């Protein structure tokens, strides 16, 4: 008997094999069905309800999929040979009830058991996002989810530039840019979407050129307009997350109020001189209600306490740091991983090179997001901020 045949014979003494019909019954009783074929094989479909985990990453990622060592596991490949090897390794890892599906997916399909098609990344995407695919919290399913996601970025300036750049690089399928300004040379110290050759070009046009050159698969939608109470809901429609890259209080309050009304998470950022901050305002967050911007800042500060970046200045790298924090928060929200900055403001001091955080709870009397309150409607935000200031 040749070496590999002897190996399989030895494994069969340790690992039970079950026919697809029996595996289907065990799966219905709670057993985990793991398909260890490669992604190009799964493009033809897999057993309904199966977890897909390629053989190359099985030992590294199985604990994330099946943390209970006593849960029965059924391992499937194409024909039933690789699944024997994989099942043997799972038993060595400490799983107490492991079986291999005899005949694999070929036999499962031939016996007309339930199958389902799986959307998979093509070869180009697998190459582009190969580092994401190695991260258990993302993997192929997360990457496909990013491809289906839509993020709206208000402002293609200092904050919006790095946020858009890295969200496009990460593979977010649709990115909307809202901005009515033209590229100015003074923007280039921090607004990395734009180039000197594009001075005088609309920012959304320049931004689209940069993002599509970086990742041709990303669909960039330009909204060359100023956000107002009359167009905000129409522009927000269909987006999963809004990234606030604005630089003025009327727009920040408008974004907040529209996000509260529509239930869209609001990823906030602000910069000034050497200081920046980021947070996620999400009152409609499932099972974990967060505050809105008005819970933290019910009214605008005075004009003397809130000069613009044009007046006070900003070190060029700071918007990059905060914009990347916003991109990171947007990805966490889209993939439902980690803990977003809801109820927390993360502050960065560029001079000290230090981060600090403070927590705050939803305001139970907030006129916009408190429970049971009817949305009070939009205001004249330019006038509102001027009067309050």
**Residue-wise pLDDT tens digits, 199-252:** 999 999 999 999 999 999 999 999 999 999 999 999 999 999 999 999 899 999
pTM score, whole prediction: 0.79
Last residue of a domain, one of 99, 120, 141: 120
Last residue of a domain, one of 76, 95, 120: 120
Token pair belonging to 273: 């001189």
Same-domain pairing of 156 and 296: yes
Cα angle value 243/276/368 (rounded, 5°): 50
Token pair belonging to 48: 């309904």
CA–CA dist 19, 86 (Å, integer): 17
Q: What is the mean pLDDT of each run of 10 residues along the chain (389 residues)?
A: 76 93 96 90 87 87 92 95 94 95 95 87 90 88 94 96 98 97 95 96 97 96 95 97 94 96 96 95 91 90 57 84 98 96 96 95 91 85 64
Same-domain pairing of 202 and 166: yes
Is 309 among the catalytic positions? yes
Same-domain pairing of 179 and 68: no
Same-domain pairing of 81 and 222: no
Q: How many domains does the chain have?
A: 2
Does the residue 247 lie in any domain? yes
| Dmax (CA) of the chain | 90
**Residue-wise pLDDT tens digits, 355-371:** 999 999 999 999 899 88
CATH number at residue 163: 3.40.50.720
Same-domain pairing of 146 and 70: no
Same-domain pairing of 68 and 154: no
Q: What is the extent of the structural domain holding 69?
A: 3-120
CA–CA dist 37, 133 (Å, integer): 15
Residue in 77, 259, 292, 309 annotated catalytic = 309
CA–CA dist 316, 385 (Å, integer): 27
**Residue-wise pLDDT tens digits, 94-103:** 999 999 999 9
Last residue of a domain, one of 65, 90, 120: 120
Same-domain pairing of 157 and 298: yes
Q: What is the dihedral of CA 241, 146, 317, 385, to 10 degrees?
A: -10
Main-chain dihedrals φ then ψ at residue 225, nearest 5 degrees: -160, 165
Does the residue 277 lie in any domain? yes
Does the residue 319 lie in any domain? yes
Same-domain pairing of 141 and 114: no
């Amino acid at each position: 008997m040749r070496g590999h045949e002897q190996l399989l014979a030895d494994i069969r003494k340790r690992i039970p094999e079950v026919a697809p019909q029996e595996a289907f019954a065990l799966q219905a009783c709670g057993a985990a069905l793991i398909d260890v074929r490669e992604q190009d094989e799964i493009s033809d479909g897999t057993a309904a309800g199966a977890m897909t985990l390629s053989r190359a990453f099985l030992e590294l990622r199985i604990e994330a999929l099946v943390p209970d060592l006593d849960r029965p596991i059924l391992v499937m490949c194409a024909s039933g040979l690789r699944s024997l090897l994989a099942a043997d390794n799972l038993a060595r890892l400490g799983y107490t009830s492991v079986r291999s599906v005899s005949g694999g997916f070929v036999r499962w399909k031939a016996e007309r058991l339930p199958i389902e098609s799986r959307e998979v990344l093509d070869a180009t995407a697998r190459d582009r996002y190969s580092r994401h695919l190695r991260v258990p919290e993302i993997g192929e399913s997360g990457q496909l989810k990013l491809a289906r996601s839509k993020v709206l970025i208000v402002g293609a300036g200092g904050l919006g530039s790095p946020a858009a750049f890295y969200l496009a690089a990460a593979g977010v399928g649709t990115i909307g840019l809202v901005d009515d300004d033209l590229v100015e040379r003074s923007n280039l110290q921090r607004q990395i979407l734009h180039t000197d050759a594009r001075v005088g070009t609309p920012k959304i046009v320049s931004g689209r050129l940069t993002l599509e050159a970086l990742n041709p698969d990303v669909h960039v939608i330009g909204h060359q307009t100023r956000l107002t109470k009359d167009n905000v809901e129409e522009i927000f429609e269909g987006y999963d997350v809004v990234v606030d890259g604005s630089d003025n209080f009327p727009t920040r309050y408008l974004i907040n109020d529209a996000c509260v009304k529509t239930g869209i998470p609001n990823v906030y950022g602000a910069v000034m001189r050497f200081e920046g901050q980021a947070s996620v305002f999400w009152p409609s967050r499932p099972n974990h209600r967060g505050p809105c911007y008005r819970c933290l800042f019910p009214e605008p500060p005075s004009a003397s306490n809130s000069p613009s970046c044009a007046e006070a200045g900003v070190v060029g790298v700071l918007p990059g740091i905060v914009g990347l924090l916003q991109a990171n928060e947007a990805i966490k929200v889209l993939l439902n991983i980690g803990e977003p900055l809801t109820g927390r403001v993360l502050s960065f001091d560029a001079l000290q090179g230090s981060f600090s955080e403070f927590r705050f709870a939803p305001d139970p009397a907030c006129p916009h997001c408190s429970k049971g309150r009817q949305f009070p409607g939009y205001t004249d935000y330019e006038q509102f901020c001027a009067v309050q200031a």
